[in-house]
Each structure stands twice: as structure tokens, then as C-alpha cells.
Amino acid sequence: MSTPTEPGRPDVVVCPGGPLLLRGDHVVEDAEGRVHRTSRPVSAVCRCGKSSVQPWCDGTHKVLPSKLRP
């Protein structure tokens, strides 16, 4: 499903204290079992669980106390 990336550029990047970045074509299943297909060259998936646009990151992690960040 994922499109090949350039050498040295991983498909999935874990941002410390932030989202997962997905490069290329992916499918993300949310907590309710709904399937979401990525539609951008790079998509950010929420890891803190507080985003208002789940499963996507809306930057909410930036305002959370550090102990609540992923």
C-alpha cells in the first residue's frame, strides 16, 4: 500500500513528544474501527489522543503538560 520513499527517508517517522508522520499512501484505522486513507504527501497521526480531528494531529500535544505527551 505504501509508495516507495527515497533512500534514507522512512515511511513512518516518530516525532518525539508529537505525532507519527506518514509519508506516502497509507490507511489508518481509528479507535472506532473507521478507516481513513492518507491524502497528503505527509500526514500527521495523533499520538496524544487529544486531537479534535482524530486520527490526525491538530497540534494539541504542544499545549499539554509534558507528562501527558506521548
pLDDT digits (tens, 9 = 90+) for 10-50: 899 999 999 999 999 999 999 899 999 998 999 999 999 99
Give the model's pLDDT for residue 68: 66
9 compared with 3, residue with greater pLDDT: 9
- Strand-strand pairing, 35-37 and 42-45: unpaired
Distance (Å, rounded) from C-alpha 16 to C-alpha 24? 21
Residue 4 has pLDDT above 80, yes or no: no
pTM of the entire predicted model: 0.79
The full set of domain ranges for the chain reads: 12-56
Q: Write out the E strands in the chain.
A: 12-14, 20-23, 27-29, 35-37, 42-45
Q: Where are the alpha helices (DSSP H) in 1-70?
A: none
Beta carbons of 12 and 1 less than 8 angstroms apart: no
Residue 3 has pLDDT above 80, yes or no: no
